[in-house]
Structure 1
Amino acid sequence: QKKYRTWLIDYVDAWVGRMKRNGDIIPSNIGLDGTIGGETDGKWYGGTYGWGFTVIVPQTGGLAHRNRQYWGFVGMMNAYFLTGDDKYLDAWRKQTARVNAQKKVIDGRDMYPRMYGDDGWYNWVPQPYSFNQLEIYYLSMKPGDRRYLENDAWLKFLDGDNNSYAEQALRRDLAEVRRRAAAMDGDTTTPDTRLADDPAKYNPAQVTALRQLMVAGLDPGRRASVWHTRLRYFDPARRRAGIPDDCAAMIDRMTDSTTRVRLVNTNQLESREVIVQAGSYAEHTIHSVQLGDTTTRFKGPTVRVKLAPGAGGTLTLTVDRHSRQPTMHFPWDRN
């Protein structure tokens, strides 16, 4: 609904403005009067889980640096999702540059800060500040945003430089399923001796390979992010989301304006139909589909593909990303 879209954009715009007024760094405290640091004696870095939130761990007595301001980028992603406006990504680019500009040499090594307190920057580590860099690049697809991602195996695969990645990723996920299931069987704790979230480490569900290879999607996490994917599949025969039974899909190339997907019907007796949608919520527009030497041109968020028994093919879609208003309606429920 328009009112919710307007509210979200206005809310995120307010935070973009605060970042600009605070030297391109997102403040971790805003007073009830709207001032930066208004509830922490004017300290922009104050507040729980803010830039200066270092606490003593009761169990160990050691210090824990718990700056969680990078979680706020989800809001920027949501605004970009609705508008395609690069200013929401650029705000975070500028913050990354400002933090890394504080670099200094300690014991002969370049070190970068993660925290800010009364005495300035602290908690120096050898890795540059690069939180949310994959998400920024995924949304922008600008070469400059690949900085800090030079060794990302999935992105190399999508570039055509790591052809063994698909098999390796699937095998890795399956091995992790087996490892966690075995660990669950070997757990000796009892309900009265463990915390409620202790068993979470045994959760055997592993979807990284499926998420990356089938839909070329980001990890949505658990902090209010929508699911950003390049493609999504629907089963028109059963009128449900998801790829039809017996079908498989793999995205093996992706650029700013193209997506290459392999579709296969493993059923040797029956044909299958699949609707391929550009974007999780039809936010992208497909302009052409190439199959072999044949290119079909049209304009819309979906393409319907019929797969003969045991057949498959490779489709290259030309897409205009973030060119449509997202919708949660399924393809057959749209006007």
Structure 2
Amino acid sequence: MLRAEPVRATRRIRTAPEWAILERELFAQQDRAWRVFADRYTEGDGRLVFRDRLGVGLDGRDGVDDFYEPFFNWPTLYLLGGSSDLLDASLRHWRGVTNQLTEMGMLVDGYERGYDWFHQGESMVLFYALCLALPEDTDLKQLAARFADLYLPAGPNYDAEHRVIQAPHNGAAGPRWGFIDGEKYFPWSLPLRPYGLPLDWIGVSSFDELVDDPGKARRYGQIMWDRMGRGDVLANLAATGLATNAYLYSGDPAYKDWVLEYVGAWQDRLAGREVIPDNAGLHGEVGEHLDGRWYGGHYGWAWPHGIESVGSSAIVGAVNATLLSGDRGYLDLARNPLDAVLKQAEYRSLADMGTLTKRWLRHLDPERPTLTIPQRHNDSGWFDYNVMPTQLPIALWHFSRDTGDAERIERLREGSDWDWNAVHDQRNKDEGGHEEPWYEFLARRNPNFPEKMLRSALAISTARLETIENDPIDPAVGPDALDIHHWQNINPVVTEALLQLTTGSPQVLYNGGLTHLHLRYFDADARRPGLPEAVAALVSDIDPDHTVVDLVNLGDEPRSLLVQAGSFNEHALQTVAVDANPPRPVHHQLLVDLPPQSEVRLTLTMSLHARTPANQSPWEL
């Protein structure tokens, strides 16, 4: 039964705000964009047009994520107010790809047979978004439980005695020891050459030595199997997303208990150390298979991406535990890797930076030094300097809204010799990259951000559509002509701008994060998630003590929408002030009536993380 406090907009629009017009234009463009992509690259049951097979490369395990990733933000667009049939399309594509991958032997009972959680997390973002959009779907609820059960104490992956997920590669078939199937040898391909070797202390000096010497590659592969192919790694913290998702559906305490137990194990491994370790052996001991080293685990501090994967995993695990328990002490686990690299910060120019620099090429002046942090650590110490991946500290601050987490971002801003207000037409596969100008907008230092960001999103989507329409590749011919990353690289759906502006939220952490929205909307007449047709929203302030959102109905029909605090109704609304009127109490959710051509400014107060989170429809509350 819906219990909502009603308010009504009384101001008529004199001049429609430019941001509102652009926002609705972006929604309209997206409605065309996903259809163009689907028509070009998918078949009737939703699978991607692909006639080859996966599992035939060097490692035989890679590629599952690449088939789900082209659709990762489609359900999110629906959640924000995308077309009604987009949800059915998103579900069809997820099911079609799942069937496609099952036929290739990559899945067992609909789930990844076994791979690392840096990539599994990328696969799961689509599933989590579908679950958020379909809280009443019994099939998804059952799948969420079945997937999570793979990691609970009775499942195949977790050793409850030692509190470890037993291997870096894991999944529906349990621990998948090592990194390849069959003969053990150095398994990675030439594109990974820039990251060097994962173990720098076993007598092999270069990547080329292993490429040129099969015998040495086999010996190296055996050592990797022994040292890195078994035991727990920090990247496995992303698996807590499965249990958190299952708990949000069911409220079953078994899922909550496991998340807190497993995150607690990594808290204990950090205790007494300056830096969170990235590995634990089969008996739960840090460095057990690495001669005592706290670094060297798969997708850890030493190889390949360092803070990019370590920081993301720590934040995902800590946020999940905090969401379910309300205990903010878990967030210290997420803060540690960020602060550890900031202690080693140096000013460097672009020429003196290491890997993963592509994200910053549009921002940096090659001749001017800026604040950088070491991304990685091995026997030589901290190395591979680059700009801090800003999405990590901003995601943490957005969840915590803690002063200390904001101060960390301010330090990065003050040390940056580039313009945080600039909005560049750039797009990575995770669709992030505009965290800094959004943060500046919220800090009231970038007033024109909404219009700039929306124009940028429109330009990016338009460019992707042109690429699709002029794409010479026949998607059916296989990998000789089609890179399996091709689809995700030209996905024309863009949601970062809409997340930031309509909900006051950053892009989801791509390697396994759940969608954490500050505000959510529901169309009260259509009884579905998202902004109603012709309605635009702009969140301009998310300070802990108040939230400011403008709502505009550009259409000629009355609209009603429900405002909810948090993705999972976890924040408690307290008061609302309508335009310049005094605040009044709100006892649950807020129902806003928008007459034709009307606008209203709401100033909300709320208590963050004050309610038990649940994935439920507001019509069931």
The TM-score, its normalising length taken from structure 1, stands at 0.87
* Correspondent of 1:34 among 267, 278, 284: 284
Specify the code of the residue in structure 1 equivalent to 2:502: M
Q: Is the 8 A contact 1:284 1:301 kept in 2?
A: no
**What is the CA-CA distance between 1:118 and the residue it aligns to?**
2.5
C-alpha change, 1:35 and 1:306, in structure 2 (3 Å) is same
SS at match of 1:40: coil
| RMSD of aligned Cα (Å) | 2.6
Specify the code of the residue in structure 2 equivalent to 1:295: P
**What is the CA-CA distance between 1:261 and the residue it aligns to?**
0.8
Tell whether 2:535 aligns with 1:247: yes
1:253-275 deviation per Cα after TM superposition (whole angstroms, max 9, x unaligned): 2211211111122232x322111
1:199-253 deviation per Cα after TM superposition (whole angstroms, max 9, x unaligned): 3211111111111000112212443322111100112222211122222211122
**What is the CA-CA distance between 1:6 and the residue it aligns to?**
1.9
1:156-212 deviation per Cα after TM superposition (whole angstroms, max 9, x unaligned): 212332221100000000000111122233333443322212232111111111110
* Correspondent of 2:569 among 282, 289, 296: 282
Runs of 4+ displaced beyond 6 Å: 64-67, 104-107
1:57 is matched with: none
Specify which structure has the higher proportion of helix. Answer: 2
1:123-154 deviation per Cα after TM superposition (whole angstroms, max 9, x unaligned): 2x254586711112112223332334533211
Q: Is the 8 A contact 2:307 2:375 kept in 1?
A: no
- Which structure has more relative contact order (CA 8 Å, sep 6+)? It is 2
1:205 is matched with: 493
* Correspondent of 1:164 among 425, 444, 448: 448
The TM-score, its normalising length taken from structure 2, stands at 0.48
* Correspondent of 1:85 among 327, 330, 345: 327
Structure 1 CA distance, aligned partners of 2:308 and 2:524? Answer: 46
1:6 is matched with: 257
Structure 1 CA distance, aligned partners of 2:445 and 2:307? Answer: 37
Please list every run of 5 or more consecutive structure 2 residues that lacks an aligned counterpart in the other structure.
1-250, 353-368, 414-419, 421-435
Structure 2 counterparts to residues 283-322 of structure 1, below 5 A:
283-322=570-609
1:15-47 deviation per Cα after TM superposition (whole angstroms, max 9, x unaligned): 1221224x1422221111111122333222122
Q: Is the 8 A contact 2:521 2:529 kept in 1?
A: yes
1:234 is matched with: 522
1:174 is matched with: 458
Structure 2 CA distance, aligned partners of 1:155 and 1:197? Answer: 30
Q: Is the 8 A contact 2:563 2:589 kept in 1?
A: yes
Specify the code of the residue in structure 1 equivalent to 2:268: G
Structure 1 CA distance, aligned partners of 2:343 and 2:257? Answer: 35
SS at match of 1:89: helix
2:398 is matched with: 138
Structure 2 CA distance, aligned partners of 1:104 and 1:244? Answer: 48
Structure 1 CA distance, aligned partners of 2:346 and 2:558? Answer: 62
Structure 1 CA distance, aligned partners of 2:444 and 2:520? Answer: 22
2:505 is matched with: 217
Paired-residue identity, %: 32
**What is the CA-CA distance between 1:328 and the residue it aligns to?**
1.1
Q: Is the 8 A contact 2:306 2:377 kept in 1?
A: no
C-alpha change, 1:66 and 1:309, in structure 2 (3 Å) is closer
C-alpha change, 1:179 and 1:307, in structure 2 (3 Å) is same
1:58 is matched with: none
Q: Is the 8 A contact 2:338 2:393 kept in 1?
A: no
SS at match of 2:582: strand
1:61 is matched with: none
* Correspondent of 1:98 among 330, 340, 348: 340
1:330 is matched with: 617
SS at match of 2:532: coil
Structure 2 CA distance, aligned partners of 1:115 and 1:215? Answer: 34
Specify which structure has the higher proportion of strand. Answer: 1
Specify the code of the residue in structure 2 equivalent to 1:172: S
**What is the CA-CA distance between 1:319 and the residue it aligns to?**
1.0
2:381 is matched with: 120
C-alpha change, 1:37 and 1:300, in structure 2 (3 Å) is farther
C-alpha change, 1:138 and 1:111, in structure 2 (3 Å) is closer
